[in-house]
């Protein structure tokens, strides 16, 4: 048998709101400690019967303080979710930032930037992914954003897929072989770092080549067009993911690297660590 709790956080006066909110958070933490399976949040406006007002914002606050208990809305007022749009507050060209996360995760790990009327840009915050201290969040975020751009734009109107292998580069180079001429060979390190926008543009063009990019932890691109010689049978992937994803996942089992794959069929981007998917981003739309 499971037990849940429907909250109704009363506040007799605005002066007591802050204390009542703290009390409500403490009560939910106590309910989790007692073994309650879920807590349901209500939403009342202008009456003092729901001191936190916005149940979704309060659920986010509770998620930061708890680890197991399920959070849900017992009462949700839909008309208050889209007020900015229905009131024509958002205009073409304006930016909206949305926080989201993977299914089952308690905390958001992704920021989605929406530009009204002009497409989108999606960027992952890597701090919550547990990839390891050796990886620069700047470099990983640059690569994830670049991967999303490749998945969205393709090459000359045609969809393409690719792999970025980041970190443990000496071992990765030993476990791969060059399929074609390395376009980055002979170029100084300062001129082949993924933090440089010009290099990211070059990578978009080289992504049409077969094979993977091998990139050092600091963002220096060592090679493009590398065939990953891995035991793809060592990983278990969801149905529908092909050889590219299997190779990307497998190299993260056999090395300490992180792999970022771009699906040619859907443009989706996946980050692999230790053979597991650490992050998955789907395309909102693809350029045709």
Q: What is the pLDDT along the chain (288 residues), one digit of tens a residue?
A: 888 888 877 777 778 888 888 888 999 999 999 999 999 888 776 665 667 777 878 888 888 888 889 888 876 666 555 555 445 666 777 777 777 666 566 666 666 666 666 544 445 455 435 666 677 888 988 899 899 989 988 888 789 999 999 999 999 999 999 998 999 999 999 899 999 999 999 999 999 999 999 999 999 999 999 999 887 557 777 777 888 989 999 999 999 999 999 999 888 899 998 888 888 888 776 665
**How confident is the model at residue 121, as a pLDDT?**
46
Q: What is the pLDDT of residues 96-111, one digit of tens each?
A: 777 766 656 666 666 6
**How confident is the model at residue 150, as a pLDDT?**
92
Q: DSSP string of the chain?
A: ---EEE-----SSGGGHHHHHHHHHHHHHHHHHHT--EEEE----SSSSSTT--HHHHHHHHHHH-SSSEEEESS--GGGTSHHHHTT-S-TT-EEEEEE--TT-SS--EEEEEETTS-EEEEE-GGGS---TTS-HHHHHHHHHHHHHHHHHTBTTB---EEEEES-HHHHHHTEEESS--TTTTS-GGGSBTTSHHHHHHHHHHTTSSSEEEE-TTSBEEEEEEEE---GGG----TT--HHHHHHHHHHHHSS-EEEEE-TTT--EEEEETTEEEEEE--S----
**How confident is the model at residue 224, as a pLDDT?**
94
**How confident is the model at residue 120, as a pLDDT?**
43
Q: What is the pLDDT of residues 152-166, one digit of tens each?
A: 888 887 899 999 999
Q: How much is the pTM?
A: 0.60
């Amino acid at each position: 048998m499971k037990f849940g709790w429907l909250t109704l956080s009363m506040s007799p006066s605005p002066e007591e709101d802050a204390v009542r909110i703290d009390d409500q958070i403490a009560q939910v933490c106590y309910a989790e400690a007692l073994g309650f399976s879920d807590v349901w949040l209500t939403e009342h406006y202008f009456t003092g019967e729901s001191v936190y007002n916005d149940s979704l914002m309060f659920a986010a606050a509770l998620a930061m303080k708890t680890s197991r208990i399920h959070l849900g809305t017992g009462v949700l007022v839909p008309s208050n979710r889209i007020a900015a749009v229905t009131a024509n507050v958002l205009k073409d060209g304006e930016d909206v930032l949305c926080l989201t996360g993977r299914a089952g995760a308690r905390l958001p790990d992704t920021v989605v930037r929406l530009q009204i009327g002009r497409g989108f840009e999606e960027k992952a915050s890597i701090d919550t992914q547990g990839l390891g201290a050796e990886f620069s969040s700047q470099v990983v975020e640059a690569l994830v954003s670049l991967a999303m751009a490749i998945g969205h734009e393709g090459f000359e109107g045609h969809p393409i897929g690719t792999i970025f292998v980041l970190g443990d580069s000496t071992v990765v180079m030993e476990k791969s072989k060059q399929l074609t001429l390395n376009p980055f060979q002979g170029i100084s390190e300062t001129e082949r770092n993924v933090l440089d926008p010009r290099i990211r543009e070059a990578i978009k063009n080289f992504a049409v080549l077969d094979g993977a990019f091998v990139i050092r932890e600091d963002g220096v691109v060592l090679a493009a067009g590398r065939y990953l010689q891995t035991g793809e049978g060592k990983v278990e992937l969801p149905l529908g993911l092909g050889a590219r994803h299997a190779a990307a996942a497998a190299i993260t089992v056999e090395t300490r690297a992180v792999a970022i794959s771009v699906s040619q069929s859907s443009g989706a981007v996946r980050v692999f660590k230790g053979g597991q998917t650490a992050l998955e981003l789907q395309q909102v739309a693809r350029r045709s």
